[in-house]
Structure 1
Amino acid sequence: METEHYITEQQVAKITALSLSKLRSDRHLCKGIPYHKIGRTVRYRVSDIEKFMTDCRIEPVARS
C-alpha cells in the first residue's frame, strides 16, 4: 500500500500558481481542490491536486 502525501496550502499555491487568498476563498465557498482540515491545519493530498489540474485541462480543437 502506497502512502499518500499531503502538502501545505503554501506549497499548493506554488505548484498551481493560485494565490493563497484564492485557495482560502475556494475552501470557504466549498469548491476547488479537496482538502483535509485537522484543527486549524489545512493539508492537501497530492493526488487530489493532480486530479484537479487534470480535470481543469482544456484540449484545444483546431478549427477548419
Structure 2
Amino acid sequence: MTGYELAQKLHAVPGTRHAVFIAHTGYGQMEDKRLSSESGFAHHLVKPAAIPDLQRVLADSPRPG
C-alpha cells in the first residue's frame, strides 16, 4: 500500500475525515505533489524537510475541537 492509498483509506474512516495528513517524502516532482493533493494530503514536504517548513505546516493546520 502506498502513502497515497493510505491517505485515501484513512479519510474514509469515521473520525478521521477532517484529519490533516502531511506527506513527508523523498519525491518532490510536480506529479508527486499533485498525487499527494489528490489523495488527501494537506501538505507535501520533501525530505529532508527544514524545521521552519515543518513549523509553518503545523502552525497552518487546524486544531481539533
* Pairwise same-fold verdict (TM > 0.5): no
The answer to which structure, 1 or 2, has the higher relative contact order (CA under 8 A, 6+ apart) is: 1
TM-score tier, shorter chain, comes to 0.3 to 0.5
**TM-score of the pair, normalised by structure 2:** 0.32
Larger radius of gyration: 1
